[in-house]
C-alpha cells in the first residue's frame, strides 16, 4: 500500500490502514514519515483522550474493556493504545490483547493496539502520542491509553491524556501509600477497583482524604473517586459519568485547550531532542568517539570531558 492510499483508507477508518501506519511510526525514526505525520496531525483534535494507569494487577485491562463497552452502547468508536513494558521479542500482539480481542476487538468500531515499551530508547511517550494521533485522525471518538503505573515513560503517557484515570485496589495496602504519592499528581479520577474485597471502605476513606490535600493548583479539579468491581461490571457507568464531569469541567474552564497546548509543548521538545539524537552521530563525531573512548575506560578523561569535546565537534 502506498502512503497515499494509507491516508485515503485512514479517513474511512480502515483497521488495516490504521495498524500499518502505527507500525510505520513505531519502526521508523527517520524523517521519511514527516509528511505523513503532518497530514495525519491536521485531522486530529476531535478524539477525547483518556489515560488509564495503576499498579500491575489493579484491573486496568478489565476497566478499559468495560468502559469501551459502555462507549460502544453510546454509539461511540474507541481506539485503545495498550503500552506493555514487557512485550516479547517479536513486538507483535500480546497475550492480553488476544484475550481482549475476542471480547471487544471484533467490534468494527473498536481498535486495540499494543505498543512495547522495551527498546523504545526513551521515545515511548512520543510514539504513543503519535499512535494516538493516528486513531484520532481516523475518527475514533475516544482514544484510551492504557499503561502500567510504574516507570517514568509509562506515567508520562497516561498523564498527557485529557482525563487521567488511576486504578487502585483495596489490598494495595502499604503499597497504596507509596503509589499514591507518585500517582496523586496525575490523577483526575481514581478508580478503587475490586471494591467488593475487604478493606475497600478504609482504602476509600484514606484515598478521599488524600484527594483533598490538593497537590496541584488550589483552585483546580479535586480528583473524584469511583468504587468499581470491573469484573462484574459494577461502578463502570459511574466511572463514565465522572469522566464526563471532568470533561465538562475542562471545557467550561478552557483547560482542555490549555492542557493540550502544554502537552504539545512537551511533545515539540521531545521531537526536537529526538531530531538532535538522530543527527548527533555523523562521521566526525563517531570517529572522534571511537578514537578517544579508551581514555575514558582508562580513567584519563571523564565521560563529561569527552562528551563536551564531541558536542563541540558537532556544533563546529
Segment 70-129, which members bind its own copies (CB under 8 A)?
84-89, 94-95, 117-122, 124
In this chain, which of 15, 69, 72, 260 binds its own copies, going by CB under 8 A? 260
DSSP string, 165-231: EEEE-GGGTHHHHHHHHHHHTT-SEEEE-STTSTTHHHHHHHHHHHHTT--S-TTSPPPEEEE-BGG
Q: Under DSSP, is residue 82 helix (H, G, I), strand (E, B) or coil?
A: strand
Among the candidate windows 13-21, 61-69, 172-180, 228-236, which touches its own copies by CB under 8 A?
172-180
279 CB contacts (<8 Å, ≥6 apart)?
A: 314
CB 49 within 8 A of CB 132: yes
In this chain, which of 177, 205, 222, 284 binds its own copies, going by CB under 8 A? 177
In this chain, which of 14, 41, 107, 247 binds its own copies, going by CB under 8 A? 41
Number of residues that bind its own copies (CB under 8 A): 71
Among the candidate windows 19-27, 147-155, 191-199, 224-232, which touches its own copies by CB under 8 A?
147-155
45 binds its own copies (CB under 8 A): yes
End-to-end Cα distance, the chain: 42
CB 146 within 8 A of CB 52: yes
Residues 239-258 that bind its own copies (CB under 8 A): 257
284 binds its own copies (CB under 8 A): no
Among the candidate windows 30-38, 200-208, 237-245, 246-254, which touches its own copies by CB under 8 A?
30-38
55 binds its own copies (CB under 8 A): yes
Q: What are the grid coordinates assigned to 61, written together?
A: 485491562
Closest CA to 123 of 270, 305, 254: 270
Residues 199-228 that bind its own copies (CB under 8 A): 215
Amino acid at each position: 500500500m502506498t502512503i497515499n492510499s494509507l491516508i485515503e483508507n485512514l479517513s474511512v477508518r480502515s483497521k488495516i490502514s490504521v495498524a500499518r501506519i502505527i507500525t510505520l511510526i513505531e519502526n521508523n525514526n527517520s524523517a521519511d514519515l514527516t509528511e505523513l505525520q503532518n497530514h495525519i496531525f491536521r485531522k486530529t483534535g476531535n478524539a477525547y483522550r483518556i489515560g488509564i494507569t495503576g499498579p500491575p494487577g489493579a484491573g486496568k485491562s478489565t476497566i478499559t474493556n468495560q468502559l469501551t463497552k459502555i462507549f460502544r452502547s453510546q454509539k461511540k468508536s474507541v481506539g485503545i493504545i495498550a503500552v506493555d513494558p514487557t512485550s516479547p521479542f517479536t513486538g507483535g500482539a500480546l497475550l492480553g490483547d488476544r484475550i481482549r480481542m475476542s471480547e471487544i476487538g471484533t467490534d468494527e468500531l473498536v481498535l486495540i493496539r499494543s505498543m512495547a515499551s522495551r527498546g523504545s530508547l526513551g521515545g515511548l511517550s512520543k510514539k504513543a502520542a503519535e499512535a494516538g494521533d493516528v486513531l484520532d485522525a481516523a475518527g475514533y471518538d475516544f482514544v484510551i491509553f492504557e499503561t502500567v503505573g510504574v516507570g517514568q515513560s509509562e506515567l508520562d503517557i497516561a498523564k498527557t491524556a485529557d482525563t487521567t484515570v488511576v486504578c487502585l485496589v483495596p489490598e494495595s495496602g502499604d503499597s497504596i501509600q507509596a503509589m499514591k504519592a507518585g500517582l496523586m499528581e496525575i490523577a483526575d479520577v481514581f478508580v478503587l477497583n475490586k471494591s467488593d474485597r475487604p478493606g475497600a471502605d478504609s482504602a476509600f476513606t484514606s484515598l478521599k482524604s488524600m484527594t483533598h490535600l490538593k497537590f496541584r493548583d488550589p483552585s483546580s479539579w479535586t480528583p473524584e473517586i469511583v468504587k468499581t468491581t470491573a469484573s462484574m461490571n459494577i461502578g463502570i457507568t459511574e466511572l463514565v459519568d465522572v469522566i464526563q464531569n471532568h470533561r465538562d469541567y475542562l471545557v467550561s474552564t478552557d483547560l482542555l485547550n490549555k492542557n493540550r497546548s502544554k502537552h504539545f509543548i512537551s511533545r515539540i521538545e521531545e521531537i526536537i531532542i529526538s531530531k538532535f539524537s538522530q543527527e548527533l552521530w555523523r562521521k566526525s563525531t563517531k570517529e572522534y568517539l571511537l578514537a578517544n573512548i579508551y581514555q575514558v575506560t582508562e580513567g584519563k578523561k571523564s565521560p563529561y570531558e569527552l562528551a563536551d569535546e564531541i558536542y563541540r565537534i558537532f556544533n563546529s
